[in-house]
Amino acid sequence: MTLKQWLVVAALGISACTPSLNWREVRPENTSLKTLLPCKPDHGSRSVTVGQQDMPVSMSGCEAQGHLLAIARLPLPAGATAEQAAQAAKQWQEAALSNFKGQITGTQTLLIKSKDAPNPGPLQRISATGVGPDGKPMQSQMVWLVHEGQIIQAVVYAPKLSAEVTDTFFAGLELP
């Protein structure tokens, strides 16, 4: 099962989510990142292939109004250099796009809010189109950042993305 399929299955099993957008502050486990999600998140972990290695990924996500929103965290090996972290993030991006046969359709610069933590600088918010597990067209927006010895992915999938959902989700990303 691909990461995308796993996220969809996990999101479908969430009974606490309602169709309405009830934005709440969430702090994913093992990170100081703060984000906003429109529903109560489910949490899980699994192994994904990044480059040539299977690596443990922890996820928090939910589904609301046809949008699957998730924050995923992949720990970096101890002593990983900035170059190795950037390469691993790039490989994860390629794997994520491949999982839903995604093609990049655009990018936007995203600045993460940060009070005291070193700011990761401008990030690329990638827009892509692909195919969902049901074979129907799927849209996505994704961001990767390296923070506190891990790579963090923020992602939204939907048959048709809503700017209200994606803009609120990505604007809600904040470091301490």
Residue 54's pLDDT is: 81
Residue 18's pLDDT is: 40
Residue 11's pLDDT is: 42
Distance, CA of 2 to CA of 33 (rounded, Å):
25
β-bridge partners, 140: 128, 157
Residue 2's pLDDT is: 47
Residue 1's pLDDT is: 46
Q: What dotted CATH number matches 3-15+23-175?
A: 3.40.1000.10
Residue 117's pLDDT is: 67
Give average pLDDT by consecutive 10-residue segment, the chain, 176 residues: 45 43 87 90 84 83 94 90 90 91 95 78 92 95 91 96 95 89
The domain segmentation of the chain, as residue ranges, is 3-15+23-175
Helix or strand or coil: residue 12?
A: helix
Residue 12's pLDDT is: 39
Residue 114's pLDDT is: 83
The helix or strand, by DSSP H or E, that contains position 163, with its residue range, turns out to be: helix 163-171
Distance of CA 43 to the CA centre of its chain: 13
